Structure 1
Amino acid sequence: MPWKKGRFRIMSGALDQIDELTKEPKIAYFSMEIGVHNDIPTYSGGLGVLAGDTVRSAADLMLPMVAVTILCKKGYFTQEINDTGWQTELPFIWEPSKYMELLPHRATVQIDGREVSVQAWFYNVVSLTRGNIPVFFLDTDIPENQPEDREITAFLYGGDKAYRLKQEIVLGLGGVRMLHEMGFEIKKYHMNEGHASFLTLELMNRFKKPIEDVWDEKLVWDTRTVRSLCVFTTHTPVEAGHDKFPYDLVSQVMGEIIPFPVLKELAGRDNLNMTMLALNLSRYINGVAKKHGEVSQSMFPGYEIHAITNGVHSFTWTCQSFKKVFDEYLPGWANEPELFVRIGRVPDGRLWEAHMEAKRLLISLVKETTGVDLAPDILTIGFARRATAYKRADLLFRDISRLERIGEGKIQLVYAGKAHPHDEAGKKLIQNIFRYKELLKDKIKIVYLKNYNMETALKIVSGVDIWMNTPLRPLEASGTSGMKATHNGVMNFSVLDGWWIEGHIEGFTGWSIGPAPHELTPGADADARDSEDLYDKLGNTIIPIYYHDRHTWIRMMQNAIGKNAYYFNSHRMMRRYVTEAYIR
């Protein structure tokens, strides 16, 4: 029997399905992380969850796509937080055979001068529309490999630069070779961030031209054909998000896949820059929001960078109580999110009760995991995302005494999020939240939920009353968590960066924090200006509306659904990828 979970399921008979799938050309979607299921820990945060939503919408829309990623048998990590708020990491051990099927196909890559075998696990995302997208999880944990090579696909984003380089070799080179072994004809390769850029080198070798001039080595390499096959989505303006490897390390670990003079022309003279490699070998390049497209264009002048604003998978990120309401009043909404524009059909009382049901579920989760009793009638603010410095999770606490005056007895806070194991500043940020939690314990209830995952995320984004986001401009490329909140009638209270620039109508779909988004780089006083506006709007606008004007609050809930969820969904996103990137 097929294994079932929610709207998608795994089907048996993988080889028969692959035979059928190889009958027509496909789009190959490559991503270092893909979040297909809460209990399959092959994602760390927004990038992987977005990739999962991409695949789910592709299945709903019956697009001819396959996806390739890394297995990560020990996951990202299990988050432990002690009483002082310090994060430690433990392996997340899971058994792939419970969720997917091991295929007999093998590909090989050269790593440290050795032949390393790569196998693939098959997970089939099947939609109720009868569309399906196979996801191939690459794995080097094979007995014939050396012990150190078997660990290459153990941890997501684990280890040092050499470890990351090896993983990206497996993803890019191994992924293309695996699809070839299976018999797929690929008409477009979509690189979801630069981690997969080595696939372009495999394509370079597959499309070598005859030597026309022995004095001009570059004529051997058909970059025009490779570019015509490749699409590249860049996801962040943060420097750490663009992998760079010293050429000495590349030579030692990967060898000379193509001549180094040619590689340096494509990937940078000083270091192998994975983003530059993708930029130089892709015909279509895009950022993930209009503002991010502009920021990326300024970062990489000389390239034409488009913008396709991210979206989230509507069915996945709508809680059960709202699904029931939408099914009753907006039938067909799951595959036609445009129907959210008709949200006015839903009676106010039904909308509010659906929200309160979601809020009670969140309160129950908080009680179960932290022992803290939150109150259902208190304004609840949610902040849950990767713990890293530029997200400024502690901006709300910049003026403790003012926060006390504004919020005592009137607000309660729900935090969650993991810091990367090597991000000391991110870990200290979590510790700071715990310190403020203790300082304010008699006046404002604050909880921090550990091990933030997809299941917890849905309960938080649907169960809070407002969703807060405080990134340092212009470092928030898109930010999809706020889109998930809107699908559940939760308004955003956020800095005008990423998607919120496009989704924000002040006092209508939510509220802004700080100045208009015309500045490319923030000034030194950004924290002061943003926190001042945050306190002012929270105390003088948001709290009074919540407690004294229920009618306006529900109108804004409707607007969040009808104006934001209506547009910021992955169905709209994927239709744009098809028309603007895939069929060019």
Structure 2
Amino acid sequence: MKAIRRLTVRTVLPEPLSPLTELAMNLRWSWHEPTRALFEAIDPDRWEEVHHDPVRLLGAVHTERFAQLAADERFTGRVAQTAADLRNYLTRPMWYQNLIDPPKAVAYFSPEYGITAVLPQYSGGLGILAGDHLKAASDLGVPIIGVGLLYKRGYFRQSLSRDGWQLETYPLLDPDNLPLTKLRGADGVAVRITIGLPELRELVAQVWLAQVGRVPLLLLDTDIEENADGGREVTDRLYGGSPEHRLHQEMLLGIGGIRAVRAYCALTSTPEPEVYHTNEGHAGFLGVERIRELTEERGLDFDSALAAVRAGTLFTTHTPVPAGIDRFARDLVAEHFGGNNTSPGVPVERILDLGAETYPGGDPGSFNMAVMGLRLAQRANGVSLLHGEVSREMFGGLWPGFDAPEVPITSITNGVHAMTWVHPLVVELIERELGPDAMRAPFESVGRISDKTIWEIRCRLRAELVREARRRVYESWLARGASAAELGWISSLLDPQALTIGFARRVPSYKRLTLMLRDRERLTRLLTNEERPVQLVIAGKAHPADDGGKRLVQELIRFADEIRVRHRIAFLPNYDMAMAQSLLPGCDVWLNNPLRPLEACGTSGMKSALNGGLNLSIKDGWWDEWFDGENGWAIPTADGVDDPDRRDELEAAALYDLIEHSVAGRFYDRDSAGLPTRWIEMVRHTLTSLGPKVLAGRMVQDYVERLYEPAAHSSRAAVAEGYAGARELAVWSTRVRKLWPQVAIEHVDATAEPNGGEGAAAARLGGGLRIRALVEIGELAPDEVHVQAVFGRVDEDDQLRSASIAALVHVGVDDLGRNRYEGVISLEQSGPFGYTVRAVPYHRLLSSPAEMGLATLPHSS
């Protein structure tokens, strides 16, 4: 008989154990091993049964056991000490508190968060990155408020049919049985957030609070009775449903998220955010909502409100391919923001303009969420150096007057949260060998750990992975319909002593899950080599609607099922955070073979490196900038080959060559003590050279110093004195756009400056070039028009490559009323050299000369 209602009966803990509730409800336990060990000590068997979930554990343990523990002074002392440590962590000054006048608060919006497997609100790298961002912010004391949605079915669980086809299930989550609390008003009533929908409908959401260390994470949930007309399903699952369903999710995230932040700040006396960080385009409507607030509540016109919003907004793109961007039909967006939902100060036409693909090749019928995100943000970034380059090319059409290198999209390379991803055995080793405080700065001390100790821990991690892989493969085969009697071979699946290569990620086509299968006979020889065997542990999910991705999964599984190789290759279904925390540390080598340059960053290899794994990767994402020849291997790419089939063939062959001749050779090359000393040298070098770089703490510090602080300063300048700066910038921008066609560069000449007193007329290395320009600026003032020399090496077509910029100084007006600009540029490189001159608008509140996308060149350019 099925129950018609579900509820959770909370355990009433004895007073000495009451801090356990506080510890369970703060997600710091997900990266704090002493807290996890405390919960495990309550009942180790139950701890495994509830999959390391403290909230479920407290509901599953019998009251007799709690009574027993309450009488145990040693255990209650441990509870009190752990709770005191948490309170100290939540209140003591951190890195951020030592900064001079940083942002009072930052709002961070993301459609998914990977905090812990207990709270499955993520699908892949974007969510894991967002979770690591919040954790690192907490550790650094950065006052971030996270905003997202609570999906009642989360992302799907993956299983396999007998023939290897991916199957999906969506287990229902009970928020009352998760480490969440409802946001309530002073009267105890749950807060409600409302947004408008067409035809006078309203979508209502409650707000759940997940406490991520010091960081509050607000999650909006529409599964409430007020949404009886179908709105309950808006937050049913991550990245699911029709375009209209997705639009409702993104309106709720952006518009509802701002309203949730306002409610949270008012209830908790938390300072309002000065900076708004949009993690991908899904939350872009937050800018539209902030414009509405300023027009309705502060009396600003649309352009002034836009200027104020842009000043304090940061947009991070994670998408290296146009197909990965959310697009909606313009008519659908107009329907949702027009009619009864129209705000008087925010005309629907202006909203549509924000997402319009006005650049060459754009679709006039599409509303582009990433384009809107960029237009609503004064600052933007990609997530690795290479991805920054790709993003500047990809979105360069929004800044038509500038070459790709000058497009105002910078990059901050992602990082990973060490205490989430470093295996407890590694932490135990470091603290045992180097002291209890060594994890604060472990990497420079790795040289003090012996080769023997490093190799022993690597072997222990590999053996643990083999045990876990056997368990998961056994359970998967049972689910596929096999009987226990035919699964005896799994006891010899994988060898704890063999070179183990891992590959785990989502399965879009560009990540090339099956590149390793390109030459199956050669792969088989590598796997079954008796002297130097290689084994593969693989995991990954295809999107439920991606049949192409599912076919790739099936192709791999069918190969792994073959009797001749099945003991050397394991596919582990349902890749999630819990699996990753055992899979990544146990692999000797982490494989990544995307189609370059389509991997934005690819942080899984960073997690492997922190555990002493070596990377074997295409030079894409973060590996492109941090591979140094000694911390792993770079798979050669066939970048100039247009035929994708031929390219895959060439790169697969290069992969096999590296594994056979370099990777396996070094792994199995042992000294007299049986140690692979050259391999261990690479492990040690990886830890010391990559360790500090790949940390999420470094990443968040970069965001604070390079983007959050400048954004806060811009925001303050825009909003000061009743938004005088924003009003001024809006009026100025409108005026400059109208008058800019009057700007013309009418004459440019240059003469060589002497080098070393020689007085030579020819340009010489080490000398200078004095450039003069006559510029007509019409009704604009000289201080509104900056003139720049753009110079550097040129190619055969006279195109500037890696150009430098130098400002020319206004030196007066000629007899015809033309403005004269001059300046000297240094000639620091020999060979083909070129220059040009351009004019760009200037205002003190612009973040870069390219911000407005306006530039005038000489007519001959």
Q: Tell me if both proteins adopt one fold, taking TM over 0.5 as the criterion.
A: yes
Question: Paired residue for 1:261?
Answer: 349
> CA 1:286–1:434 in 2, change beyond 3 Å: closer, same or farther?
same
Q: What are the Cα deviations for residues 248-292 of structure 1, in whole angstroms up to 9, with x where unaligned?
A: 212334444532321232210532111011101111100000000
Q: In structure 2, give the amino acid aligned to 1:555.
A: E
1:559-574 equivalent positions in 2, closer than 5 A: 559-574=685-700
Given the alignment, which residue of 669, 673, 680 partners 1:548?
A: 669
1:408-419 equivalent positions in 2, closer than 5 A: 408-409=528-529, 410-419=533-542
Contact 1:209/1:222 (8 A) holds in 2: no
Q: In structure 1, give the amino acid aligned to 2:347.
A: P
Q: Report deviation, 1:237.
A: 1.1
Question: Paired residue for 1:460?
Answer: 583
> CA 1:306–1:64 in 2, change beyond 3 Å: closer, same or farther?
same
Alpha-carbon separation, structure 1, partners of 2:643 and 2:387: 15
Contact 1:191/1:230 (8 A) holds in 2: yes
1:177-256 equivalent positions in 2, closer than 5 A: 177-182=259-264, 183=266, 184=270, 185-208=272-295, 221-255=304-338, 256=342
> CA 1:443–1:93 in 2, change beyond 3 Å: closer, same or farther?
closer
Q: Does 1:427 align with 2:522?
A: no
1:155-554 equivalent positions in 2, closer than 5 A: 155-182=237-264, 183=266, 184=270, 185-208=272-295, 221-255=304-338, 256=342, 258-268=346-356, 269-301=364-396, 302=399, 303-328=407-432, 329=434, 332=437, 334-336=439-441, 339-371=442-474, 372=490, 373-409=493-529, 410-439=533-562, 441-442=564-565, 445-506=568-629, 508-515=630-637, 525-549=646-670, 550-554=676-680
Contact 1:108/1:118 (8 A) holds in 2: yes
> CA 1:311–1:219 in 2, change beyond 3 Å: closer, same or farther?
closer
Q: Report deviation, 1:539.
A: 0.8
Q: Runs of 5+ in structure 1 lacking a partner? A: 12-16, 18-23, 127-131
Q: Does 1:150 align with 2:221?
A: no
> CA 1:134–1:211 in 2, change beyond 3 Å: closer, same or farther?
closer
Alpha-carbon separation, structure 2, partners of 1:457 and 1:210: 47
Query: Helix, strand or coil for the counterpart of 1:2?
Result: helix
Q: In structure 2, give the amino acid aligned to 1:118.
A: A
> CA 1:523–1:438 in 2, change beyond 3 Å: closer, same or farther?
closer
Query: Helix, strand or coil for the counterpart of 1:499?
Result: helix
Q: In structure 2, give the amino acid aligned to 1:2.
A: E
Q: In structure 2, give the amino acid aligned to 1:102.
A: K
TM-score normalised over the length of structure 2: 0.63
> CA 1:270–1:341 in 2, change beyond 3 Å: closer, same or farther?
farther
Q: Report deviation, 1:144.
A: 1.3
Question: Paired residue for 2:122?
Answer: 43
CA RMSD across the alignment: 2.5
Alpha-carbon separation, structure 1, partners of 2:499 and 2:567: 11
Q: Which has the higher contact order (CA 8 A, sep 6+)?
A: 1
Alpha-carbon separation, structure 1, partners of 2:374 and 2:145: 22
Alpha-carbon separation, structure 1, partners of 2:652 and 2:248: 43
Query: Helix, strand or coil for the counterpart of 1:583?
Result: helix
Q: What are the Cα deviations for residues 371-428 of structure 1, in whole angstroms up to 9, with x where unaligned?
A: 3322111111100000121111111110112222333131111111111111111111
1:56-205 equivalent positions in 2, closer than 5 A: 56-98=135-177, 99-103=179-183, 104-113=190-199, 114-126=201-213, 132-182=214-264, 183=266, 184=270, 185-205=272-292
Structure index of larger Rg? 2
> CA 1:87–1:147 in 2, change beyond 3 Å: closer, same or farther?
farther
Q: Report deviation, 1:327.
A: 2.0
Q: In structure 2, give the amino acid aligned to 1:314.
A: A
Query: Helix, strand or coil for the counterpart of 2:274?
Result: strand
Alpha-carbon separation, structure 2, partners of 1:254 and 1:265: 13
Alpha-carbon separation, structure 2, partners of 1:211 and 1:52: 34
- Identical-residue share of aligned pairs (%): 37
Q: Runs of 5+ in structure 2 lacking a partner? A: 1-20, 36-54, 56-82, 84-89, 91-102, 184-189, 357-363, 400-406, 475-489, 671-675, 711-861
Q: In structure 2, give the amino acid aligned to 1:281.
A: L
Contact 1:77/1:90 (8 A) holds in 2: yes
TM-score normalised over the length of structure 1: 0.91
Q: What are the Cα deviations for residues 75-106 of structure 1, in whole angstroms up to 9, with x where unaligned?
A: 11111211221112111222222211011222
Contact 1:404/1:443 (8 A) holds in 2: no
Q: Report deviation, 1:516.
A: 8.4
Alpha-carbon separation, structure 2, partners of 1:160 and 1:220: 33
Contact 2:465/2:586 (8 A) holds in 1: yes
Contact 1:116/1:149 (8 A) holds in 2: yes
Query: Helix, strand or coil for the counterpart of 2:464?
Result: helix
Alpha-carbon separation, structure 2, partners of 1:547 and 1:280: 54
